[in-house]
């Protein structure tokens, strides 16, 4: 009997060996599309969250598009310019405001310049079989409303502090700097109030501004007109430089006529350069200084270089355009930087 059982066992082992290798398990297939791709409210109900789904060639791109799609929900009528936004961020850099592509609960994000959004987070990511990345961004309504209400209150306190300081100031630069800073902060508050109307109507109803944004804007415009400038330029026989300086001052809201002016003194030179090549060149030099009404130096701009062309007149014309471009871009930046520095004192 034992021999019979042993024989049967040997036969079975031979049969198993003769059957050959078994087929390998099928490769795993990509996971099916999550429900949130087409309907983000399955994870984040609309009553509690604002959501946006983004698609991109990378995870980072999908995240960015998702946050951008949340920004499209907001139809903000009053938006601060990118220049004002940058100045506001720099002013509040000491702990109050930071920018990022994805944010924590008390950080801020600017997406596609549509709105300055708070408290945007990425909740989900997924990659399909073609390698496309999907992301789901969300914003907690109640939590975000609380952050914004706190910031509006803090900003309002800064505005009132600046206005009280301005009342005690006699220096026109300092007075304008304080009111300009208050107006800049007011623009941020106006944006947040607009957003609150979409995020949480109950939170929006709690906002009580202790200042009048329109009156503040008019006050700033009035004080800007009190900053009067006179312009003198040497080395500009064709009068190509002075009009650009004056236009730049006017576009900033300041005046060109009046008593006790601040002074803009500029010196330019244009010199033909002879080189051993067919192209003609003109070398230029620019030295520009702004003084306040007391003669204190506010800023300087200096630049030198050369421009070339196939003929000398066009080479000089290019040099003049370069100088004017330097003035129209650098002068406002340096003046606003000086004004913001005064406001921080």
Domains and CATH numbers, the chain: 35-141 (3.10.28.20), 143-225 (no CATH), 229-344 (3.30.160.150)
CB-based contact 317:325 (threshold 8 Å): no
Give the pLDDT mean for 223-241.
Answer: 94
Instruction: Please count the CA atoms within 13 angstroms of the CA of 199 that sit on its side-chain side.
Output: 27
Residue 165: pLDDT band with limits 50, 70, 90:
very high
In terms of Cα–Cα distance, which of 286, 275, 293 is closest to 327?
Answer: 286
Other Cβ atoms less than 10 A from the Cβ of 27: the count is: 5
Q: Is the pLDDT of residue 111 over 50?
A: no
CB-based burial, 121-131: b 16+ in 10 Å, e otherwise: bbebebeeeee
Residue 72: pLDDT band with limits 50, 70, 90:
confident
Q: Is the pLDDT of residue 101 over 80?
A: no
Q: What is the mean pLDDT of the chain?
A: 84
What pairs with residue 262 in β-bridges? 229
Between 308 and 97, where is the model more confident?
Answer: 308
pTM across the whole model: 0.76
Lowest mean pLDDT segment, chosen from 99-108, 142-151, 318-327 = 99-108
Residue 345: pLDDT band with limits 50, 70, 90:
confident
In angstroms, the CA 303 to CA 151 distance is: 42
Determine how β-strand 120-127 pairs with β-strand 133-140.
antiparallel
Task: Give 225's contacts (C-beta < 8 A, 6+ positions apart).
Answer: 253, 254, 255
Residue 76: pLDDT band with limits 50, 70, 90:
low
In this predicted structure, what is the pLDDT of residue 267?
97
In angstroms, the CA 249 to CA 264 distance is: 10
In this predicted structure, what is the pLDDT of residue 337?
94
Task: Give 208's contacts (C-beta < 8 A, 6+ positions apart).
Answer: none
Lowest mean pLDDT segment, chosen from 84-88, 223-227, 272-276 = 84-88
In this predicted structure, what is the pLDDT of residue 108?
46
Give the pLDDT mean for 221-244.
Answer: 94
């Amino acid at each position: 009997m034992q021999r019979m059982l042993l024989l049967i066992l040997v036969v079975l082992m031979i049969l198993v060996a003769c059957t050959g290798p078994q087929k390998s398990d099928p490769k795993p297939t990509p996971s099916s599309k999550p429900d949130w791709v087409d309907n983000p409210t399955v994870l984040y109900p609309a009553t509690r969250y604002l959501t946006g789904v983004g698609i991109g060639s990378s995870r980072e791109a999908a995240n960015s598009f998702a946050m951008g799609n949340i920004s499209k929900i907001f139809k903000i009528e009053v938006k601060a310019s990118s220049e004002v936004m940058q100045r506001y961020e720099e002013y509040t850099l000491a702990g109050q405001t930071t920018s990022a592509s994805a944010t924590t609960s008390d950080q801020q994000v600017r997406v596609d310049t549509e709105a300055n959004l708070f408290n945007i987070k990425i909740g989900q990511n997924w990659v399909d079989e073609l390698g496309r990345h999907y992301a789901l961004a969300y914003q907690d309504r109640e939590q975000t409303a609380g952050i914004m209400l706190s910031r509006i209150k803090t900003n309002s306190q800064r505005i009132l502090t600046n206005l009280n300081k301005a009342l005690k100031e006699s220096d026109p630069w300092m007075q304008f700097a304080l009111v300009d800073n208050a107006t800049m902060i007011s623009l941020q508050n106006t944006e947040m109030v607009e957003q609150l109307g979409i995020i949480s109507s109950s939170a929006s109803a709690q906002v009580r501004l202790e200042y009048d944004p329109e009156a503040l804007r008019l006050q700033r415009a009035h004080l800007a007109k009190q900053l009067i400038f006179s312009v003198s330029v040497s080395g500009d026989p064709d009068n190509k430089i002075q009009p650009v300086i004056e236009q730049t001052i006017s576009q900033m809201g300041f005046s060109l006529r009046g008593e006790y002016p601040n002074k803009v003194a500029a010196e330019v030179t244009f010199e033909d350069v002879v080189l051993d090549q067919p192209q003609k060149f003109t070398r230029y030099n620019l030295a520009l200084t702004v003084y306040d009404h007391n003669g204190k130096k506010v800023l300087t701009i200096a630049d030198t270089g050369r421009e070339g062309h196939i003929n000398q007149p066009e080479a000089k014309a290019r040099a003049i355009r370069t100088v004017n471009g330097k003035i129209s871009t650098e002068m406002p930046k340096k003046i606003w930087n000086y004004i913001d520095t005064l406001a921080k004192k």
